[in-house]
Structure 1
Amino acid sequence: MEIKAFDDVYSNCSSVRPNFFDFLEADISKIFGEKGAFIVFNVYNSKNENDELYIESIFKLVRNVISTYSNVYGFILGTNDIIITFPNYNLTDIEKISCKVEVSLNNIMKIIEKPYLQLNKFTLKYNQNINSVEDFYELLFDNVMKQEESKEVSRVKLKSIIHMFTNNIRNTLHSYKYANELAFIDDVSGISNHRAGKLFLSKLIEEYMENRKGFAIMFIDGDNLKRYNNISYEAGNQMIRNLSTIIKSSIRCEDKVFRWLSGDEFVVILKDIDGQNTLKLAERVRKAVQVQTKNYIYPTTISVGVTHYPSDGKNVNDLINRAEKANAYAKSIGKNRVIKWNSSMAD
């Protein structure tokens, strides 16, 4: 059966997809109650990426089945696992709902004509408070081990439960990494963005209270780079990447470079450095850009505004704003130069 036809058959299935993050943040005592049961279903033996589309539809069907009952909760844990909890249900009702879910799943497994996909089920009844995710996993593993000792469950099923647990953690870390990249990495240059830069600056200011080590900011803006955007959008992006590479290769290993709010703006944060050496390093970066781009279609230069903490500002915004004003002044007097901020630039 084609995926589209399969989706048409189950088009009324819920699109709600509570995942492992939702499970971690849920009111665990509510979704488990003082007694009840939970069932873990695992669709395994997936052979290719397209199988995920079928698995997703399987999980939607499970959600559709349990949505007709009150106080029954379902979460997708990882890629191939779903847990259904039955807080404070009696055993008769639990068996009834469990049977209905399993029948629906077996039917759908036949419809999708993927014989290699297999369904594994693990059921655990409990009569104790589960107040945290830690309590849940402790109960799960304790009971699996007890059943393993009594030969009531195979080692294959034990491996499946362990795989579910580790896969959930792995997917959580992957999702966190992906979310972090979206939030703090510039998608054009591949370097850290202004959000990451402001967090880094805040950390340095906090550290200054202990180590009394100053730091500096270089606010860099390309001169006349709009000419590359006139060639094409990609040409402009490539020039941004080239600039970030030149800047990174011209600073010290302990220094950090961030792409700032727009266009060809960069901020470089120089740790443990005084004002004089900051100007020397800024001049080195300026010269590197001029020399390394001289054979480009449009040779490029940069203007650099410099501030130093704590003499030029006591907080992140002041330091950035004053470095930006110094940069604007550098552009106003001819571009391609380094200017340190001073109070005369305040207006």
Structure 2
Amino acid sequence: MIRVLLLFAMVLIGIIHSALTHFMLVPFFNSIIVKCLILGIVFGLINYIAAELFVRRLDKLKKVNMQLRVKLNTDKLTGILNRRAFDEDIKNLEEHNGSYSLIFIDIDNFRDFNNRFGHDVGDGVLVKVGQTIQACVRAGDRVYRYGGEEIVLLLRDYDKTNAWKMAETIRSEISGLDNGSYPQITISLGVSNYPDDGESIHDLIVASDQALLRAKQRGKNCTVLC
């Protein structure tokens, strides 16, 4: 619809331009209206084609930029978001009026997978965990590989109770994964909530990290609330 209006506008501009040109530069004669119409249409079509090519080029550049942005914000191994995406997202949380929860997740004994069975096995564990977590959350929830074997969930409009339920669902799903002949995969989780546990996302990062540490100290494979 917008492009049709653009074409109409270009033709109209062309007609006006041609009419002014003829009235100012050549004597008036019977075919002036026809000439104005023809020249106006040609002029308008040329402008429309130029504008259409420009719009297509702009759309292509936007698509390329979007693909590049997605690539830059995606962890290559697991396919979930990366630390860069997390750092960008938390800048916008100040504008979020509702509650939100932050869950820190760490794969238990992850170094053993790498040291005993090799990095390919460790990478496979990371991929399984990342995909499982992504399958558990809502479409709008954000899942990040925060660093190494640590994964972070940002859940908007989640109170602490629902965040704990989500954490336990994820923990149960991970524990039930088939890891073949290798040891069972388990995770530890630390949960915090805004505004219950802090006044900013930075407070929640500290709170979730401390809760995760307590989960490790309690024997791992458990969820601890801040």
- TM-score for the superposition, normalised by structure 1: 0.48
Provide the aligned C-alpha RMSD in A.
3.3
How far apart are 1:173 and its partner, in Å?
Answer: 0.6
Matched, 1:200 2:89: yes
Residue type of the alignment partner of 1:301 = T
Question: Which of residues 258, 266, 288 is equivalent to 2:144?
Answer: 258
Q: Secondary structure at 1:218's aligned position in 2? A: strand
Could you tell me how far 1:269 is from its partner in structure 2?
1.8
Percent sequence identity is 27
Judging changes above 3 Å, is the alpha-carbon distance between structure 1 residues 272 and 163 closer, same or farther for their aligned structure 2 residues?
closer
Q: 1:155 to 1:270 in 2, by over 3 A?
A: closer
Q: Which has the higher contact order (CA 8 A, sep 6+)?
A: 2
Equivalent residues in 2 for 1:27-106, closer than 5 Å: none
Match of 2:77 in 1: 188
* Alignment CA distance shift 1:324-1:228 (3 Å): same
| 1:186 maps to amino acid | D
Aligned to 2:125: 239
User: How many angstroms does 1:312 deviate by?
Assistant: 1.0
Which residue among 162, 170, 191 is the counterpart of 1:277? 162
Shift of 1:193: 2.0
Deviation at 1:294, TM superposition (A): 5.2
The count of residues paired between Structure 1 and Structure 2 equals 197
SS in 2 for 1:292: coil
Q: 1:274 to 1:296 in 2, by over 3 A?
A: farther
Distance in 2 (alpha carbons) for counterparts of 1:155 and 1:274? 58
User: Amino acid of the residue matched to residue 308 of structure 1?
Assistant: N
How far apart, CA to CA, are the structure 1 residues paired with 2:157 and 2:44? 57
- Structure 1 residue runs of 5 or longer lacking an equivalent are 1-137, 342-347
| In 2, Cα distance between equivalents of 1:294 and 1:214 | 36
Q: Find the aligned partners of 2:187 and 2:222 in 1 and give their Cα distance.
A: 7
Q: 2:159 is aligned with what amino acid?
A: D
Instruction: Give SS of 2:176's match.
Output: helix
Q: Does residue 214 of the first structure (1) align with residue 99 of the second (2)? A: yes
Residue 267 of structure 1: SS of its match in structure 2? strand
CA contact (8 A) 2:80 2:134 kept: no
Structure 2 SS opposite 1:276:
helix
Q: What amino acid is aligned across from residue 278 of structure 1 in structure 2?
A: A
**Residue 328 of structure 1: aligned partner:** 213
Q: Is the 8 A contact 1:202 1:316 kept in 2?
A: no
- Secondary structure, counterpart of 2:96 in structure 1: helix
C-alpha separation in 2, matches of 1:253 and 1:181: 16
Structure 1 match to 2:198: 313
Deviations 1:58-111 (A, max 9, x none): xxxxxxxxxxxxxxxxxxxxxxxxxxxxxxxxxxxxxxxxxxxxxxxxxxxxxx
SS in 1 for 2:104: strand
Contact 2:78 2:126 (C-alpha < 8 Å) held by counterparts: yes
Tell me by how many angstroms 1:308 deviates: 0.8
> In the alignment, residue 194 of structure 2 is paired with which amino acid?
Y
Contact 1:221 1:264 in 2 (8 A): yes
Q: Distance in 1 between matches of 2:191 and 2:124?
A: 26
Distance 2:211 2:123 in 1: 25
- 2:174 pairs, out of 270, 289, 298, with 289
Partner of 1:176: 65
Return the structure number with greater helix share.
2
Kindly state the Cα deviation for residue 159 of structure 1 after the two structures are TM-superposed.
7.9
One-letter amino acid of the counterpart of residue 249, structure 1 = A
Contact residue 227 and residue 298 of structure 1 kept, 8 A: no
